[in-house]
Amino acid sequence: MTAKILDGKALAQRLRTDMRAQTSQMQASHGRAPGLAVILVGEDPASQIYVNNKKRACEEVGIISFSHALPASTSKEHLLGLIAELNRDAHVDGILVQLPLPDHIDPEQIIEAIDPAKDVDGFHPYNLGCLSARKPALRSCTPYGCMRLLEETGEDLHGKEAVVIGASNIVGRPMALELLLAGSTVTIAHRFTRDLAAHIQRADIVVAAAGKPGLVKGEWIRKGAIVIDVGIHRREDGSLCGDVEFDEAAKRAAWITPVPGGVGPMTICMLLANTLQAHNARF
Ligand code: NAD
């Protein structure tokens, strides 16, 4: 292996230590700690784990989390009512609705009901619009975490050829906008892209977020490229892997994120950072 590892777990730990100090200062100067409301609808086991991890991370940095666990039968109207209440609540700086929602609730309508100033996931069209207009406000957590990891390489991103694989509203699209804002030349690949290998072979930066294990072959990686793997998949033996063939890619890349321990811990970390930002903006 020649690539250096972009260690998201270690970076997230460092950032959380800094945030702990910031929340103490906020508590002292604003009279209250930052607050995050976390809404979980239904009993999906994976979502329960994600929500618990987020609550634990909040506690570690001194953010107060307000939990709202609702049954899967919750109506859209009830959920919208709760969001309206949290939008008005002066102790709540951020509102997070854990996705996916039950089938009878349209996630877009729910996201759009959140006050953009409290949209700490960065999913609201207003916040996506701000990013596309080069005035980032609350930024989508996963792409924001990827940018923070890219910063760790010390590389100047201006003029770099970047390929983002995946075009979802929560990862691929905002990731492409982040890289564009950083001055890279960005290609977005998606399920209709004809020759993925050709795009990746000329990329200085590859961000894989297709949700397909092993989609990106190690031999496609250009020597010296930076590889950020957003995908997370559980293999039959219980271990985790990403969208990129790690071992082969690591022989060619200059930098690479592991799965687990790369992008995942950074996503939660940027949720905390957004909550602090949303809190500060209110004072
Ligand atoms: P999604 O299913 O909404 O979007 C996938 C995108 O990949 C689509 O735009 C699709 O067109 C594209 N795609 C599918 N097959 C492709 C192919 N063969 N070639 C090129 N593009 C292809 O998924 P998402 O929510 O954006 O998540 C993507 C992955 O990232 C998933 O594995 C998810 O678990 C993971 N994820 C990880 C984190 C984290 O914190 N590490 C956060 C969010 C998502």
Reported confidence tier of residue 243, pLDDT bands at 50, 70, 90: very high
Please identify, by atom number, the ligand 1 atom nearest to the C-alpha of residue 242: 32
C-alpha 203/C-alpha 190 separation (Å) is 15
C-alpha 276/C-alpha 15 separation (Å) is 12
C-alpha 251/C-alpha 255 separation (Å) is 10
CA distances (Å), 149 to each of 18, 75, 104, 110, 187, in order? 16, 39, 37, 30, 19
C-alpha 15/C-alpha 38 separation (Å) is 21
Answer whether 142 contacts ligand 1 (Cβ < 6 A).
yes
Token digits for 36? Answer: 């995050």
Task: Read off the pLDDT of residues 129-168 as tens digits, 9 standing for 90 and up.
Answer: 999 999 999 999 999 999 999 999 999 999 999 999 999 9
Reported confidence tier of residue 30, pLDDT bands at 50, 70, 90: very high
C-alpha 277/C-alpha 94 separation (Å) is 9
Reported confidence tier of residue 283, pLDDT bands at 50, 70, 90: very high
pLDDT for residue 168: 98
- The strands making up 35-41's β-sheet, listed across from edge to edge, are 64-70, 35-41, 94-97
45 alpha carbon – ligand 1 mean position (Å): 20
Mutation pick for ligand 1 pocket among 171, 217, 266 (CB with most ligand atoms within 8 Å): 171
pLDDT for residue 129: 98
The mean predicted confidence, pLDDT, of the chain is: 98
Answer whether 266 contacts ligand 1 (Cβ < 6 A).
no
| Helix ranges restricted to H, the chain | 8-30, 45-61, 76-88, 107-113, 125-132, 141-152, 172-181, 196-201, 246-252, 263-281
Q: pTM of this prediction?
A: 0.98
Segment 18-27 shows an average pLDDT of 98
pLDDT for residue 138: 98
pLDDT for residue 229: 98
Contacts of 74 (CB under 8 A, 6+ apart): 41, 42, 102, 105
Query: Helix 141-152 vs helix 172-181: angle between axes, to the nearest 10 degrees?
Result: 40
CA-closest candidate to residue 231, choices 273, 193, 251, 259: 259
Is the model's pLDDT at 1 over the cut of 90?
no
Is the model's pLDDT at 255 over the cut of 90?
yes
230 alpha carbon – ligand 1 mean position (Å): 8
Is the model's pLDDT at 176 over the cut of 80?
yes
Task: Read off the pLDDT of residues 180-215 as tens digits, 9 standing for 90 and up.
Answer: 999 999 999 999 999 999 999 999 999 999 999 999
Please identify, by atom number, the ligand 1 atom nearest to the C-alpha of residue 266: 40
CA-closest candidate to residue 251, choices 211, 279, 210, 217: 217
C-alpha 24/C-alpha 22 separation (Å) is 5
Task: Read off the pLDDT of residues 211-233 as tens digits, 9 standing for 90 and up.
Answer: 999 999 999 999 999 999 999 99
pLDDT for residue 238: 94
- Catalytically active residues are 54, 98, 121
